[in-house]
Amino acid sequence: MAEGKKDLSMEQRLLLAFVLMGGVIFLSQYLLPKPPQPAAPPKKAEVAKKQEAPAAPSPAAVPPGPAASPAAQTAAQTEFPVFENDLYRVKFSNKGAVVLSWSLKKFKDTNGAILDFVNDENTTLLGSRPFSYQFKEQKPTADLNEKLFAVTKNADGVTFDYSDGATVARKSFRFVPGRYLAEVDSAVAEKNAPITHALIWRGGFGDHTVAKAYAAQYAVYLPPADSSPTTFESSKAKDAPIVNAGNYVFAGLQDQYFAAVALPKPGQTIELTVLSDSLPYPPKSNDRLPFVGAGLSLPGRNQFTMFVGPKDLDLLGETDKRLVSLVDWGWFGWIGRPLFAALRWLDANVVHNWGWSIVVLTFVINMALIPLKLTSMKSMKKMQALQPEIQRINDKYKGIGFNDPKKQDQNKEVMELYNKHGVNPAGGCVPMLLQFPFFIGFYKVLNVATELRGTPWYWVKDLSQPETIPVRILPLLMIGSQFYLQKMTPSSGMDPSQARMMLLMPLMMGFLFYNASSGLVLYWLTGNLVGIAQQLLFNKLMPASPAPQITPKKKGK
C-alpha cells in the first residue's frame, strides 16, 4: 500500500456526485462539463510559515513541581498497576511511568471488545508507550524511560516517583470521579533545576479496529481567538515533526468519535509537537502507513487536565464550552446541528430507536418539500407539451456533432422555445438541490455523533458503519428504488441518449453509497420510497400528456 496519497473524503465524493447529476440533467443538453482544475499546492514558504512555532517562555519562570525526596527512590522490579473506575480501566507500567492501555468501559470497538485507545502492536514496535518522556535541549543523566519508578496507588489515581540522588522525577495521574477527566502532573529536576520535557503519545489514537483507522486520526489544537480547531494529519509530519506553541484552549489527539486533549490553565503556553510514524497496516502486514502522534509540553512542569473520552456534545460542554468545537459539523453545520437535535428528540421521546428516528425525520423532510416538488412537476408537464416542437428542432439538426458550431444554433432555438413558453429547464433539479444540504447534514451527523456509533437497527450492527454482512442489503435496495423512481419520473426535454445516461445515475450513487454508513444509506433509501409514493400520487393527480404524434416529412423527388 503506497504511503502519502490520501483518498477523497466521503463528503467530497458526495459533493462531486451531486455536481455530476446536476450537470447531466441540465448542462449536458448544451455544453460538455469542463473537468475541475486541481487546486494549486500551497507554496513551500506558506507551509513553513504556518508550521513555524512561536518561542515558548523560559522554563525558569515556572516554579518546580512536586518531586520525590533526594534519597534514592526506585523499584526493585517491574510493576503493572491498574486503575479502574466506572468509566476507565487504565493499565500502567512503572518502567518509565507509562500507560500500557487506556480503555473506556462503556464503549466497544468494531470487534465487540472494550475500546482501548492505545495501539498495542504499534507502540511495541516503536518502543514508546503513551506518556513517555521526550527531552529536547537539556536532558537528565538518567534515561527515565528505562528506569523503574516507585508506585503509590490511592483511591483516585497512581503516582510514580524516581530519584537516584541527582535526577528526581514524579509523574502522577489523578482521575476525576464520574468524568472523562484526568489530572496529569509531571516534573523532572536535575540537581534541583527543573527540566522542561514533553509527554508523548505515538502510534495513533482512538478506535484502531475501524477501516482506515489511520485516516481518521489527527493532532489538534484550538487557539483562543479561533472558533474551530486546527488539525494535522500524520502525513504532514512525515518528513519532520511539526511544532506549534501558544496559549491554546486545548491540544492533543482525536479520531472520528473520541479525543485525548490537554486543557492547560488560562494564560499558560503549551507546546504541541505533531509526530508521524510509519507502521504496519493492517497489523502484522508488510504495508506501512503513517500514524499520527503528539507531544505535549509546558515550561518547566507539565501540569494540566486531560479530557480522554467520547466527543459527546453534552460531556464536552460540561467540561469546557470550547471543547464542543472538536465536533466538526462541516460546511452544512447550520442544518446538521438541528438534524441531530431532531434525531435525538425522536429517539428519546417518540420511537426510542435511532434507525427509526432517521426514517421518521426523512419522511417529515420529504413531506415538507411537497410544494416544491409540485412546482417541479408542473414545470415538467409544460416541457412535455413542448415535446413536438423540441422533436422538430432535434430532427432539424439531426446528425450534427456535439462540437459542430451548428450545435450552438440548436441549443439557442431550444432556449428561445423555453423562454417563449415560460419554462425553466432546470425546474426539475430544484427539489434534488434542496435535498443536498439535508443529505450532507445527515452525513456529518452520522460521522460525528457518538450516540449513533455502535447503534444497531435490525440486521445492521452499527448505523455509523457499512453493513458487515457479505452482501449489503440497504445499498442494493437503494439502487433498485432509485432506478424505479428514475423510470417513473417525467424526463421531458431529454433526448433518448440523455435519458439513458440518467439511468446510470442509480448505479453511480450505489457505487458511492456501498461503503457509506448504513444510517446514510437508510436516509437515502427512505427518501426514495417516499418519493415513489409521492410520484404515484402526482401522476394520478396530473396524468401525463399523450405522446406527441410527429408527422414525418415526405421525401422530395
131 and 264 both lie in a single domain: yes
Report if residue 549 sits inside a domain. no
483 and 516 both lie in a single domain: yes
Residue 51 has pLDDT above 50, yes or no: no
Report if residue 408 sits inside a domain. no
Rounded average pLDDT over 147-164? 96
Report if residue 521 sits inside a domain. yes
Q: How confident is the model at residue 432 (pLDDT cuts 50, 70, 90)?
A: low
Q: Pick the residue with more confidence: 342 or 60?
A: 342
Give the domain-ending residue among 299, 326, 353.
Answer: 326
- Comparing 8-17, 291-300, 504-513, which segment has the lowest mean pLDDT? 8-17
- Residue 347's domain spans which residues? 333-386+423-541
Nearest to 305 by CA among 418, 399, 441, 180: 180
Rounded average pLDDT over 348-371? 93
Overall number of domains in the chain: 2
- Give DSSP secondary structure letters for 106-149: EEE-TTSSEEESS-HHHHHHHT--TTEEE-SS---SS-GGGSBP
Query: 3-state DSSP call for residue 239?
Result: coil
460 and 507 both lie in a single domain: yes
What the block records as the C-alpha cell of 112 is 465487540
pLDDT tens for residues 168-191? 999 999 999 999 999 999 999 998
Report if residue 170 sits inside a domain. yes
Report if residue 12 sits inside a domain. no
Residue 202 has pLDDT above 50, yes or no: yes
| C-alpha Rg value of the chain to the nearest Å | 30
**Continuous segment of H or E residues that includes residue 454:** none
Q: What's the burial of 532, exposed, middle or buried (CB within 10 Å: 0-12/13-18/19+)?
A: middle
**Residues 250/241, Cβ–Cβ less than 8 Å:** no
341 and 434 both lie in a single domain: yes
Residue that is written with C-alpha cell 396530473 in the block: 542
444 and 365 both lie in a single domain: yes
CATH assignment at residue 104: 2.70.98.90
266 and 360 both lie in a single domain: no
pLDDT tens for residues 207-241? 998 888 999 999 999 999 999 999 999 989 989 99
Give the domain-ending residue among 311, 326, 341.
Answer: 326
pLDDT at 400 (0 to 100): 78
**Residues 201/130, Cβ–Cβ less than 8 Å:** yes
341 and 477 both lie in a single domain: yes
Report if residue 322 sits inside a domain. yes
Query: 3-state DSSP call for residue 274?
Result: strand
Q: Pick the residue with more confidence: 7 or 320?
A: 320
Question: With left for phi above 0 and alpha for psi between -120 and 50, is residue 458 left, alpha or beta?
Answer: left
**Continuous segment of H or E residues that includes residue 98:** strand 98-108
271 and 361 both lie in a single domain: no
316 and 237 both lie in a single domain: yes
- Comparing 117-121, 239-243, 378-382, 526-530, which segment has the lowest mean pLDDT? 378-382
Nearest to 192 by CA among 309, 334, 68, 294: 68
Report if residue 507 sits inside a domain. yes
- Write the DSSP symbol of residue 399: T
Query: 3-state DSSP call for residue 370?
Result: helix
Report if residue 482 sits inside a domain. yes
Rounded average pLDDT over 132-148? 94
Phi, psi dihedral angles at 104 (to 5 degrees): -105, 115
187 and 139 both lie in a single domain: yes
63 and 199 both lie in a single domain: yes
224 and 250 both lie in a single domain: yes
Helices 430-448 and 518-541 cross at an angle (nearest 10°) of: 160
